[in-house]
């Protein structure tokens, strides 16, 4: 039996993670339009990670006997002032997600929902990494500024990101 307050927050988090995927897909399209194919590749990999994040909460709700309720996903922006501004938007969004994860963790502790703690511990660690890589992208973009050669070098570096493992489909409770 799942705690109703935690169930509601986790359903909202499923939506936020799918929105993250949608936002990063929009940024990937913007980068592709700017002929920054390495940046676009990096963001496409990030999209897949966000879908995995959504599934982690989705599967947890099902495994605990809760109900998954999917709401509409907000429309992301379609353009930014510069590639730096797009990376800054991604960093700002990850900070928002970290706050959201922390709020779920607070609820899990208050409601004594011990079974949800391993999942939230995983997300707390993941958000440290997400903010760190997003900050790195912003800082390195600031370093190269408007220098074309530096931007192309960074683009080549980001093109090497390995895609995450394929997304697991939603699990049936009790099934494999
Ligand atoms: Mg995420």
Ligand 1 mean position, distance from CA 115 (Å): 21
Task: Tell me, rounded to whole angstroms, the distance of Cα 22 from its chain centroid.
Answer: 9
Mean pLDDT computed over 116-130: 97
Q: What is the pLDDT of residues 34-59, one digit of tens each?
A: 999 999 999 999 999 999 999 999 99
Secondary structure letter of residue 31 according to DSSP: H
CA of 46: how far to CAs of 2, 75, 133, 147, 175, in Å? 30, 18, 11, 25, 29
Ligand 1 mean position, distance from CA 147 (Å): 31
Ligand 1 mean position, distance from CA 116 (Å): 17
Where are the domains positioned within the chain?
A: 4-165
Q: 3-class SS at 75?
A: coil
Ligand 1 mean position, distance from CA 49 (Å): 7
Q: What is the pLDDT of residues 136-163, one digit of tens each?
A: 999 999 999 889 999 999 999 999 998 8
In this predicted structure, the answer to whether residue 174 has a pLDDT above a threshold of 60 is no
Indicate the pTM of the whole model: 0.92
Ligand 1 mean position, distance from CA 131 (Å): 10
- Name residue, tokens 């922390």: 102
Taking a 5 Å cut-off on Cβ, the residues next to ion ligand 1 are 17, 20, 50, 53
Ligand 1 mean position, distance from CA 127 (Å): 8
- What is the Cα–Cα distance from 126 to 56, expressed in whole angstroms? 12
Mean pLDDT computed over 15-25: 98
Ligand 1 mean position, distance from CA 97 (Å): 7
Which numeric CATH code is attached to 4-165?
A: 1.20.1260.10
Is residue 54 a contact partner of residue 86, using CB atoms and an 8 Å limit? no
**Tell me, what's the pLDDT at 176?**
42
């Amino acid at each position: 039996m799942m705690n109703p307050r935690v169930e509601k927050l986790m359903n909202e988090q499923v939506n936020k993670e799918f929105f993250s995927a949608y936002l990063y897909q929009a940024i990937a399209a913007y980068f592709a339009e700017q002929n920054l194919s390495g940046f676009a590749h990096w963001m496409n990999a990030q999209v897949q990670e966000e879908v995995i994040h959504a599934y982690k909460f989705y599967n947890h709700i099902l495994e605990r006997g809760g109900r998954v309720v999917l709401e509409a996903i907000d429309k992301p922006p379609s353009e930014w002032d510069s590639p730096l501004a797009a990376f800054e938007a991604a960093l700002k969004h990850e900070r928002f997600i970290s706050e959201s994860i922390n709020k779920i963790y607070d609820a899990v502790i208050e409601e004594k929902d011990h079974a949800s703690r391993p999942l939230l511990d995983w997300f707390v660690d993941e958000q440290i990494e997400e903010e760190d890589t997003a900050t790195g992208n912003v800082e390195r973009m600031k370093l190269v500024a408007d220098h074309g050669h530096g931007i192309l070098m960074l683009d080549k570096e980001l093109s090497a990101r390995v895609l995450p493992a394929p997304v697991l489909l939603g699990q049936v409770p009790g099934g494999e």
